[in-house]
Amino acid sequence: MTPDIGCLAERLAAHPSVRSKLGIARTTRALGLTSDHAGRPGDDAAVLPREDGYDLLAGEGFIPAFVADDPWFAGWCAVMVNLSDIAAMGGRPTAIVDQVWAPDAETAAPMLAGLRDAAAAYDVPLVGGHTNLSAPSVGLAASVFGRAQKLITSFDAAPGDLLIAAIDQRGAYRNFDNFCAALEAPHARLRGDLALLAELAEDDLVRAGKDISQGGIVGTALMLAECSGVGMEIDVSTLQPPKTVETERWLRSFPSFGFLLSVPREEANAVSARFCARGIDAHAIGRVTEGSCVTLTDGADSALFWDHARTPYLDLGASDA
């Protein structure tokens, strides 16, 4: 049994990587956005319906300390995490635009190299963007366009569903809590792994989901629960982190390939098998419940991680709610 599960929940809820997402709620309130608005804010990518499916648009900006610490990897991640957002929606990426700020070309060079290398690895074209080589400090952001035939949304998790965590563990920590399994992987494997999400969507096997991002498994579960208006239980005894990685760190880690999926119980084995066939660890780590509480459980012990009704995390409640 995990000792002091109550303390574990408290530490995770107080961790900066989890609490940083509270900035989303402040922004949505300032902009007057709800999940009713165009693009349906709250999903991993904006969704724009079209006659033959959906256009998808996602964007990501990067913490200056991360960019300064590892500028090449930051450039790589600017592509990688955006592609994960498109995949999490059941989509396939079509193009990337970047935004780079630096005091000079030499400083910008490793960021640009990371962008270039990742775009080549994932075979998604960089088609333009914005560059400022006279900026007082470094900055990095990118946006990606994609398309989907069927969607995996953040709004459709249902009580009774199983929560499946699918994470590529064939890697190691790069810096901070970033677990990277992409840099040594064959490029064809990277592309095929991401394409799996669109295949699951098109086969109607997944009800809802998100890519595991800043805040890790627990933060992503909270965002998914709030968007869907449900609760979630995460059974920490089911977690299978890489050797030498503690459960607490794994719960807050940001994997290069990681998705949290809400899956009907009868489809759970089929979904897990699709990932496992590609060498990706995937299994149920919890379930979707009624209510608004995200809890951690271990045997008979449980502890509240977050109640999104009491403390909104994204604060995207529909305007007619």
Q: What is the pLDDT of residues 196-223, one digit of tens each?
A: 999 999 999 999 999 999 899 999 999 9
Beta strands 301-307 and 293-298, pairing class: antiparallel
pLDDT value of residue 317: 63
Q: Which CATH architecture has domain 5-32+153-307?
A: Alpha-Beta Complex (3.90)
Q: In terms of Cα–Cα distance, which of 219, 218, 225 is closest to 289?
A: 225
> Is there a contact between 25 and 313 (Cβ–Cβ < 8 Å)?
yes
Q: What is the pLDDT of residues 23-76, one digit of tens each?
A: 877 887 888 877 777 667 778 999 999 999 999 999 999 989 899 999 999 999
Mean pLDDT, range 297-315, rounded to an integer: 94
Mean pLDDT (the chain) is 94
> Is there a contact between 63 and 57 (Cβ–Cβ < 8 Å)?
no
pLDDT value of residue 201: 98
Q: How far apart are CA 318 and CA 306, in angstroms?
A: 20
Query: For the chain, what percent of residues have pLDDT higher than 70?
Result: 97
State yes or no: pLDDT of 21 exceeds 90. no
Q: What ranges do the domains of the chain cover?
A: 5-32+153-307, 46-148
- Residue count of the chain: 321
Mean pLDDT, range 65-92, rounded to an integer: 96
Please provide residue 100's backbone torsions phi and psi, each rounded to the nearest 5 degrees: -125, 130
Tokens of 35: 């999940």
pLDDT value of residue 318: 45
Place of tokens 């095929």: 192
Beta strands 126-132 and 92-101, pairing class: parallel
Alpha helix (H) residue ranges in the chain:
5-14, 16-19, 22-31, 64-69, 71-88, 105-122, 187-202, 216-228, 247-252, 268-276
Q: How far apart are CA 84 and CA 89, in angstroms?
A: 9
Q: What is the pLDDT of residues 262-295, one digit of tens each?
A: 999 999 999 999 999 999 999 999 999 999 999 9
* C-alpha pair distances (Å), 1 with each of 238, 241, 289, 298, 302: 11, 15, 22, 6, 11
The domain defined by 46-148 folds into 60s Ribosomal Protein L30; Chain: A; (3.30.1330)
H or E segment and range at residue 125 = none
Q: What is the pLDDT of residues 228-259, one digit of tens each?
A: 999 999 999 999 999 999 999 999 999 999 99
The structure's pTM equals 0.93
The angle subtended at Cα 200 by Cα 195 and Cα 206, nearest 5°, is 135
> Is there a contact between 144 and 103 (Cβ–Cβ < 8 Å)?
no
Instruction: Quickly state the pLDDT bin for 122 (edges 50, 70, 90).
Output: very high
pLDDT value of residue 321: 33
State yes or no: pLDDT of 1 exceeds 50. no
